[in-house]
Amino acid sequence: MTETIAFIGLGNMGGGMAANLARNGFTVRAFDLSDDALAKAEAAGAIRTGSAAEAVTGADAVVTMLPAGKHVEAVYTGEVFGAAKPGALFLDCSTIDVATARRVIAAAKAKGFQMADAPVSGGIAAASAGSLTFMVGGDDDTFAKAKPILSAMGKAVIHAGSDGNGQAAKICNNMLLGATMVATCEAFAMAEKIGLDAQTFYDISSVSSGQSWSMTSYCPVPGVGPQSPADNGYSGGFAVALMLKDLKLALEAAASVNASVPMGAQAESLYQLLANKGEAGQDFSSIIKLLS
């Protein structure tokens, strides 16, 4: 069993993930640019370090959870590769573009390391609860070594295929989610204007052909369906800014392979409009405000 894990990136998601690794018996060497994030990680059982290079020194595995591809590439090439011990396993759980993920993994392999991309599905609450889903890109041996670590932070660890396929799965999934949420909100907004009660529409559609996860697990209408961010003023959950980031990554990937994604493109434009209205920090289900 891998004993010591360096965890770099202790934001809203990474902080909960690192805490779960510590809770499950791993020695966690943590680093973040934020002193507050480091203090929280230390309180959760992690060891505070002063740099990414210090965190990875002597670690059996490195887990990163960073904002974008440029940060991932800079951390690995600038600090991790030069400080990690031979044979260390690298797991990048950030959501980044496929091309950068594959480039960083290739660079890691060239230096004799094993690396997988392992982005997550699930929000802040799932990160804290250890109930994330991991989509993992990498060869069979790397996946086998990664699974025990990722299982300590999630409810499902799924092998998506070769290097970069975890990112591919993530952006395809979230493009579908973004478009489905828009359609769900359209339907509820139209039902209200026609005179159909939201709860009645939910009761019908949730057991009919219009059913979707956006409706039955994450209903965008307050007071309808299971508890969701809509019941808390659209705070918490998965921010509009993050959905917009994933949709932009999906459109970038689609353009690179000449894939037609008209619904994904329309969803991206609507979420961009919502962000421009100052709603970037709200949950992505708040798109219903734009459609009502």
Distances (CA, A) of 182 to 62, 106, 177, 238: 37, 37, 9, 14
The dihedral through the CA atoms of 94, 100, 103, 107 has a sign that is negative
pLDDT value at 101 more than 90: yes
What value does the mean pLDDT of the chain take? 96
211-251 residue pLDDT tens:
999 999 999 999 999 999 999 999 988 999 999 999 999 99
Task: Answer yes or no: are the C-beta atoms of 9 and 95 closer than 8 Å.
Answer: no
pLDDT at residue 1, as a whole number? 53
116-171 residue pLDDT tens:
999 999 888 899 999 999 999 999 999 999 999 999 999 999 999 999 999 999 99
Mean pLDDT of the 287-292 span: 94
> Percentage helix, strand, coil, to 5, in the chain?
55, 15, 30
Q: Which residues pair with 86 in a beta bridge?
A: none
The SS3 of residue 16 is helix
pLDDT at residue 122, as a whole number? 85
Chain Cα centroid distance, residue 222: 25
Residue type for 282, please? Answer: Q
Within 8 A by CB and 6+ apart from 214, the residues are 177, 180, 181, 183, 184, 220, 285
The pTM (predicted TM-score) of the whole model is: 0.91
Task: Answer yes or no: are the C-beta atoms of 141 and 91 closer than 8 Å.
Answer: no
pLDDT value at 260 more than 90: yes
Q: Which two tokens stand for residue 98?
A: 């496929």
18-41 residue pLDDT tens:
999 999 999 999 999 999 999 999
Q: Which two tokens stand for residue 111?
A: 């230096």
The SS3 of residue 89 is strand
Q: Band of the pLDDT at 2, cuts 50, 70, 90?
A: low
Q: Which residues are catalytic?
A: 170
Task: Answer yes or no: are the C-beta atoms of 43 and 175 closer than 8 Å.
Answer: no
* Phi, psi torsion values for 156, nearest 5 degrees: -145, 135
Q: Which two tokens stand for residue 233?
A: 């003023």
Percent of the chain with pLDDT over 90: 96
171-213 residue pLDDT tens:
999 999 999 999 999 999 999 999 999 999 999 999 999 999 9
pLDDT at residue 207, as a whole number? 98
Could you identify the residue written with the tokens 């990414």?
A: 52
pLDDT at residue 125, as a whole number? 84
pLDDT at residue 124, as a whole number? 85
